[in-house]
Amino acid sequence: MTVDVLDPATLPVDDNVNPYVFCVDLNGEWFLQKGKMIAYYGDIRFDGLGHGPLDGLVAASFHSPLHAGHWVVAQGRGKLLLADRAYDVNSFDLEDGNLNIRSGNLLAFQPGLALKQSIIPGFLTLIGTGKFVAASNGPVHFVEPPIRVDPQALVGWADTPSPCHHYDHHYLRGFLGGVRALTGIGGASGEEHQFEFTGSGTVLMQSSEALMPEEAVGAVGVAGEQGRGVPGAGVPQQAGGQPGQEGLGGLLGGILGGR
Amino acid sequence: MLAVELNGDAVRAKNGSMVAYDGRMGFKRLTGGGEGLRGMVTRRVTGEHMTVMEVKGQGTCYFADRASNINLVRLGGEKLYVEASNLLCTEEGLRTGTTFTGLRGAAEGNGLFTTTVHGTGWAALMSDGPAVILRVAPGLPLTVDPGAYVAHTGELKQQFVSGVTWRTAIGEGSGEGVQLRFEGSGTVYVQPSERTTLGGQL
């Protein structure tokens, strides 16, 4: 337990105060997600993105109209403390790189980076050079492809080709599989669906499968606990079926069933 | 979790927060927060409810509440301002009371009143995530999000800063529309998480 009393002189510069609080040494502008500021020293203004004088900045670094309502620009000079629901907070440097991150996990970024919407729903892409701050439920782990990860544990990925869905074949093999595929009834381990990464780069994972509540931004009808946070999981389904498996199961199940 | 060693003396703790103890302990619920009839009436009127028990005995007593983080504060005669819901345990030598906070409490959704602790001894505060302790000095004002505020000590003047403009009304608010500015000298405890507050959505 820390009993240190901190003031602007002893607060770290662009670094973590503790695993849950990050201190930004603001001198200019940063983009923040709304409501993540917990305290600040100095003279700082917070403005919505539609604010006139910010037009140039926003035009240069913010390219996601879907998320514009959730972001603000902090400008001024001082020490700014960021935190998010007592989740672990980390900062990362990006050098002329690109990174995809789950939209709910990104807290703040420097205007040197450009924010874009990933073509994968629910994710954002940062391109350029600069620092950004992200939250995760439990510490972040860096892993290298080739790897398959649980959709709920995925925080983001950098410099790799985009992932694809991977379904284990087990769940539609054999008699039980046939029943499951045809009726949607039957046991499933809950782990037959993964994201597969190949090539070189880094994949960021959190050590929990708890997701931040996020806005449904351009996501295709996500439904149920299984489909939570899985882009494209909520394919059109029939009543009573298991979300996520019905589309593929129904297609292949039809072939299997007619055999 | 907080472990308190008792040697015939007593502590006051939030009712029901004991999770384990060894030795001999007696638990007694104190009506009206142990502040006598006047305190009882004040708390009833102000809505700053605090159900407190007195623990007395020999041995070690363990307190915890919803796995929240516990911060120990050593008081040497000064006054600690804290929300009743964030106060876990105080030493016998500390007196608790109620005070008017004005608009701040209203924005936090905690009512217009707050709890004060003064005297000499240890007090245990609860927060969601470990609290960051920030110093406020003359010329060094601190601005805090009302949802992250936990407690403060010292001679501090609180002031509301409102960034609510016509933009807020059309859904272009900054999300940080309501802030608390502390001036003077003292320390402020801030938690790394935000309660849902009345002002938080602006």
pLDDT one-digit tens code per residue, A167-177? 776 665 666 66
How do beta strands B149-162 and B142-144 pair?
Answer: unpaired
ipTM: 0.76
β partners of residue B28: B54
Q: From CA A162, how far away is CA A64, in angstroms rounded?
A: 19
Residue A235's pLDDT band (cuts 50, 70, 90): very low
Q: Domain residues of chain B, as ranges?
A: 2-190
Residue A6 included in any domain = no
Are A98 and A182 in the same domain? Answer: no
Selected residue with higher pLDDT from A33 and A235: A33
Are A72 and A36 in the same domain? Answer: yes
Amino acid, single-letter form, for residue B66: R
The arithmetic mean of pLDDT across residues A27-41, rounded, is 88
pLDDT value of residue B134: 92
Are A112 and A153 in the same domain? Answer: no
Say if the Cβ atoms of B192 and A39 lie within 8 Å: no
Chain A CB within 8 Å of residue B49 CB = no
Using CB atoms, which residue from A8, A45, A48 is nearest to B173?
A: A48
Helix (H) or strand (E) holding B36: helix B36-46
Residues in chain B, pLDDT under 70: 31-49, 100-113, 162-177, 196-202
Are A84 and A192 in the same domain? Answer: no
Length of chain A: 259
Residue A73 included in any domain = yes
Residue A238 included in any domain = yes
- Which of A103, A136, A169 finishes a domain? A136
Are A132 and A30 in the same domain? Answer: yes
DSSP per-residue letters across B129-188: SPPEEEEEBTTB-EEE-TTTEEEEEEEEEEEEEE---HHHHTT---S--EEEEEEEEEEE
For B74, name the nearest residue in chain A, comparing CA atoms only.
A3
Show the tokens assigned to B75. 């008081």
Residue A63 included in any domain = yes
Are A98 and A166 in the same domain? Answer: no
Are A157 and A112 in the same domain? Answer: no
- Does residue A217 carry a pLDDT above 60? no
3-state secondary structure at position B25: strand
Are A108 and A173 in the same domain? Answer: no
Cβ–Cβ under 8 Å, residues A159 and A140: no
Q: From CA A95, how far away is CA B14, in angstroms rounded?
A: 51
For B135, name the nearest residue in chain A, comparing CA atoms only.
A7
Residue A184's pLDDT band (cuts 50, 70, 90): low
Cβ–Cβ under 8 Å, residues A235 and A181: no
Report the CATH number at residue A130: 3.60.160.10
Are A190 and A83 in the same domain? Answer: no
Contacts of B172 in chain A (CB under 8 A): 48-51, 69
pLDDT value of residue A255: 42
Question: How far from B161 is each of A32, A44, B103, B109, B145, CA to CA, in Å?
Answer: 19, 12, 11, 17, 10
| Domains held by chain A: number | 2
For B68, name the nearest residue in chain A, comparing CA atoms only.
A86
User: Within chain A, what is the greatest distance between any pair of CA atoms?
Assistant: 74
Q: From CA A233, how far away is CA A227, in angstroms rounded?
A: 5
**CATH number for the domain whose boundaries are B2-190:** 3.60.160.10
Residues with Cβ < 8 Å from A244, sequence gap 6 or more? A193, A224, A226, A227, A230, A233, A234, A235
Are A100 and A200 in the same domain? Answer: no
How do beta strands A113-117 and A62-63 pair?
Answer: parallel
- Which of A116, A136, A156 finishes a domain? A136
Q: From CA A133, how far away is CA A99, in angstroms rounded?
A: 12
Burial (CB < 10 A; 0-12, 13-18, 19+), residue A26, is: buried
Residue A30 included in any domain = yes
pLDDT value of residue A200: 85
Selected residue with higher pLDDT from A189 and A64: A64
What is the average pLDDT score of chain A?
75
Q: Give the range of the structural domain holding residue A98, as residue numbers without chain letter.
A: 16-136
Using CB atoms, which residue from B132, B148, B174 is nearest to A18?
A: B132
